[in-house]
Structure 1
Amino acid sequence: MQAIRRLFAGYVDYHRHGPLMLRYLSLAGLFFFPAYYLLRFTKADPGFDDWLLRIVDTAICAGLFLRDRWPERLRRYYYAYSYLVVIITLPYTFVFQSLKNGGGTVAVGNTLMATFIVLLLADWRNMIVMLATGFGAAVLTYIAFDPSPSMPVDYAVRWPILLGTVVGGSLFKFALERATAEKVRSAYASLAASIAHEMRNPLTQLKHSLEGVQQVLPPPGAFHHSMSSIGHAELDVLYRHVAHGELAIRRGLQAISMTLDEVHAKPPDSASFQFLSAAEVVHKAVDEFSLGSDEAHERVRVHVHDDFHFRGDETAFLYVLFNLMKNALYYATRFPDTRVDITVGEHEVKVRDTGPGIAPDVLQGLFEPFSSFGKAGGTGLGLAYCKRVMKAFGGSIHCESQLGSFTEFTMHFPPISEAEREVHRRQILEGAYAVLAGKRLLLVEDDAAQRVTTRHKLRPLGLVIDDAADGQRALEMLARHAYDLVLLDLHMPVLDGYQVVQRVRQGQVPANRYVRILAHTSEPPHVARVKTQRAGMDAFVSKPCAQLQLAMALQRALQRPVPRAASRPLEGRHLLLADDSAYNRRAVAAYLRDAGAEVTEVDHGVAVLERLEGETFDAVLMDLNMPGLDGLETTRAIRGSSAGWSRLPIVALTAHSDAPAIDAARAAGMDGFLVKPVDAPVLYDTLLGLLSLPRAAGEVTPALPPASPPEGEGPLLNESRLDSYRRLGLLDELLADYLPEIGRLLGVLDAAVEASELDRASEALHSLLGMSGEAGALALYTRVRAVYVPVLEQRRWPDDAAWLAELRALAGRTGDALRAYAAQSDPAGIAHRG
């Protein structure tokens, strides 16, 4: 019996990854058995009338074809049934017919055909068993029921040919399977090497971040004393290292997702596409790519000739840019003069490097999957993914190169008309208005000009807006009135934004303890994400922020469910968590308990069924791959039960996100699907939706700073932003308030530099950064940012001694450009202001 089980297991394994072979067999049998029976009447002497045998063959093929309609309890016998179908319809039927018809050339051909089909349908061991069983049963039946059985001579003498067919076909099939297995092994090895190569940089960055954290933390013996007196600067360093580590992890997960998506030919989901600024996404990609790498920062330059918008997915396009920059710098150690220039303009983004170039014969297949040139450990999936993404965006990508000179990738995007952009803008504003109209918002900002700007942006949304100039005033207003939203600047005098949030969440203003709070900050997005989430804020938007980005951020924040007591949205829920890995359970269970749920943990499917029999649960979260009874089998058992818990919500937990895994989970009866590692917001959102509670919005995508090319490599002004100000009627206030304030801040910088007051200079640069970005002063914003980042993160003055003089000169040219722009709109009354 053990030998039979092993033999049958080999047959099942042979068809587990190729079930279509059995389906095609059943379909052919349904057609050919009746059809060839009708052909027999075209002969003068039809011979043996095998109508009953053909009816049986057709009927059992129909049963095989209709497998999806089998009762659930019978599907476990499908492979055993198919085993009998193969034996009966092929070796048995054709040999029996041949014997009854007295042999002949047709009989020999039919037997060889049946043998060849069995050869394709089973591994060599089961093929021998199937042929021997079918042939033997046919001969015995013929002898038992034929009145004068005899073996046709011409049929018998051709059995050595049949034996040769079996042996030769088996050897050929064995060689083919070995070659296929070698190709699969090679592909797996290349895929593993590719993922390892993609993960090396993120893991190195994560290691660097952890080492930075260790350097800031006090020694274990002095832990309690030192942690109580840790300074503001040290705390900022810790947060930056944590943010860099989190960013590295996101990059690694993106690399894995990209690789798996390309292996499964999975295009980006067009339902998630948004209108994106090409320059903004390019600058974000360069900022994140060069983070922690001085070499990458020095070698990559961005040139924005004119910004444009396209419809696509930001994460997918970011990875396209990451891949192109990584490829461009791959040979930087061998070619130390390599430079990468990224140019934005005329609905194209070009990535050009001065590396070794690519040969013309290689260019032809450069974007094909598993095509790689001159790189060890790569699968060539990166450029194939780039092509798939650009095609999904409605655009294209091509490459030009010259050996020893350059390589240039050009991504072309379909133009978006002004009418389309206006329709999109109206849709966003109307959707936000439907949610936000009549709601009360507190705007907390110490900069009067930015308060005016933000009010103008929010005017179409129907909000009732109060404002406060500092954190103390904000707390006083929060104590007097109930608010729906707070838009909070983080860097303010008296009390900063973090102190305000801490007091609000601690309950010092009870009526607003759980008010939705959005941070409004100039900090780098990856740092702001970590700090605002840890502080208890609902989201953040970067300064400066376009009107549509701000509207969407406020809308998403308001649509988040009001937290229950102690911000525990799953309070009172009893959840059953099944996973054979204790480490995986620990992380998911921690998320669930932090949200207030009671969690019962088990490590296999049988335990799930046992717990359901004795306890009451609100939902089940289950790993798909567990020993014994796996997640799919357990789900089928739950759904097939007549107990009250048979309709419990079931969420799949798995590391596989491909379509077959999702389809299998859905077919088994699962209600949700979460990919490991599970993010807490996605976990809560899925469960709240299945438990019929108000659904939480997905994680807010932070709004980005404006596109900002280096000085001299693009226009002084961001005219698209200024156009929006003109449409909002804000251009007067811009010139009347911003230009004098920029001059004042430069004066503060002068005094801070003269007195060597780094903190005071940092505060002035922070204000100047937000001011220039909001004013559409593109080149000034870039120059201020280049100065501000090292001052903030590295606590040092810029290396260039002339930086302040350059800022003053650039501010002067920017003021002239702003006045000239305004004069085009209102030459009579605006150009002289400021």
Structure 2
Amino acid sequence: MSIKTLFTPLRRLFGYYETYHGNGRPLLKFIGIIGSLTYLSFYLIRFTKPNPKPFDDIGIRAFVITLFALLAAHDQWPEKLKKFYLPYSYAALIVCMPFVNVYVSLERGGGVPAMSNCFIALSFLVMLTDWRNTIAMLLVGISMAASLFFALHPGGHWPADMLAQIPAYLIILIGGGAFKLSEKQIDSEKSRLAAALAGSIAHEMRNPLSRILYALEKMQAVLARPKVHESVKTLEGEQIDALYRHLADSEGAVRRGLQVISMTLDGVSNKPMDATGFRYLSAAEVVQQAVEEYGYESDDARNRVSVKIESDFTFRGDETAYLFVLFNLIKNALYYAAAYPRLHVTLTVGDQQVKVHDTGPGIPADVRKTLFEVFRSVGKSGGTGLGLTYCQRVMHAFGGDIRCDSVPEEFTEFSMTFPKVTDEERERHRLEVIAEARTVLAGKRLLVVEDDEAQRAMTLRKLEAIASTTEIDQAADGQLALRMLAERKYDLVLLDLRMPGLDGYAVAERVRGGDSMNRGVHIVAYSSEPAHLSRFRALQSGMDHFLSKPCAEMQLLANLQHIIRRRGATSVSAASRLAGRRILVADDSAFNRKAIAAYLRNAAAFVIEVEHGAAVLQQLRAQEGIDAVIVDLHMPGMDGLETARAIRASREGWCGVPIVAMTARSDEPAVAAATAAGMNGFLVKPVDALVLYDTLSRLITGGSAMAPHPEAPRTREARAESQDHDGMLNLQRLESYRRLGMLDELLNDYLPEMQRLVSDLQKTVDEGDVQGSIDALHSLLGMSGEAGAQALYQNVRRLYVPLLEEGLWPSGQEWLPQLQALAARTEEALKAYCAQQAASGAAS
């Protein structure tokens, strides 16, 4: 046997050791540190207990500590010596672990300490290398120890307790080896899956990148080689259309690549879906959107896919996630298009199901059993095997399921079943969408530009839900649209693309290129043209968004309110959560109730109005399903605090209903009293609509809202800007009344009532009636705040709070005449504002 043949197995064995400690694993350095400290500390601990014949192994320990210290000093080894570090570590482990511990145990004649040291050494050795080298190191180390011991002690023998521990040593060795083998298999599987995943993504991205390259080549062909002396080249209309078509193809290819990456990463992460962001979706609309937006590889592939709507239905889920599900199923079906020229894919919507049916090769029954397993790919080279697992996870998150039916060489059909949405849920969803759209679009001006009279009328009918708070104009052609845009300021233009004369593209270009007041208006392309062909050109023309026709009412409203998202988006969302809720409002002032009720009804809530605490209890007993109660703290008879205490003490099913205090006082004693009475929220008069929405929505959905809402600095600045030049009126509040159509009520109801309250105050002051004055000031405070009479409200509040808390009249004799004069100026200012708004409305 040659020396080379003899050393080949040894080199292979050491190769396993090198692989185990490859990639910079610092195990040897760490074991060097631990070993040095352990051998030193154990030596010192041994002498804390008396031993008549201790085997003093200080020399051996010093040698072992030195070997371990050299292992720990790996980073300090000279570069030219580091190549010898692994061979050195191999010899050092043999000496420090099995050799030294077995030899010392033999010298001591066994015993518990010696056995423990051997167990510790063996356990560390199992962790420090693979199972082959563990066995090799043990055999070499034990042989060396036995040879040295019996050479020094010819009559010596193996201690019986060491021999008795051999089964335990074997268990450690076998168990550790099995664990290391399992760990290696797991690492190997991870590496394999990582390589497969990288290869799959590369495979999936090849087609989109090829499509982009193809489109760029086509664009280069359209853009002929420039001539040296030609500075300007004019493109023909057909060439421009071709460029836009190729750009659209490129955009679609990029979207498909991003879709593949997102779906693959979601499948690998296997993270649970967050259901809090789910919303109600139309199955037909999402399916149409998926078919329209899918990144097809060719026109032939696009023509192979069709949609069949038998009956639409609503489901609750995440739109993006479900689009990825449909993208994956379409991709799988079209994979076989080249091999099956007659292959066609049909997406059918109906009976709480969406079915994706293809006339491809089919899937055998035995394969279908494992179809939804992770990394399971059937009949496709380069597939990730993650897509169908992702589809199943999404459907389960929606509360539904997905199954596969197939007949080989005939068809494959994936059926997705969704849980039914009740009529009550559907209606609540409709009200939420309408409420949010109303709030977001309140006070905005929309222009619908459409040459087809029937389609224009249909669009206007879909916008009827917001017509009470939003001004909606219409134009039958592009020229008329431009004239209207030159005369009035608009917030959004819903623009058809294909119109005779001046089409939508030209209208958008002229608006963006001009210097009119509407240069920055939101322009939304609203067209039945294929989105993949028209979207890019529409955006290039200066439009902001693209909506496809047909578009259902809820989808249209949802898209519009997303486009015109104003500041205060959190409160807008809060308003939408009040849709369909039953709110009980109690205030002795009918005018205060009317303002609160108007805000709540604008959020699509159902409002019950009462004027005292006893009526609150009556309504709670008579009606089921009241979601919240708003009570004024200061009411005649049973006030707000007594009402709250009575509700909490009733022990009825409604005793836990959220109760919101409403008062002009926001000091700590008022808040403490409301809290003690069992109230959950606090509104300060005059009530701000957004604060009202936010407080109620948080309480109804289980949150907390006890502290009064402080006015943030930006809000104070906004209110300061919203007041007129001498601070008389709060124009922001008056503008909200204008949007709600309440200005006439302000003139006909609020102003006479304010006059009456000022007269009542004069009478109670003349009679020295403190309580009557408190009542009059309380009503006047609420009335002036709700009517936007800013200066009057502030003046009344300065008088009301001290009188209520201390029962003392204001000092001096001029406070009442000053109040009366301020009320008169306020009345004039309110009348002037209403007249100005009426004139402005007539002119427009």
Larger RCO: Structure 1 or Structure 2 (Cα < 8 Å, ≥ 6 residues apart)?
1
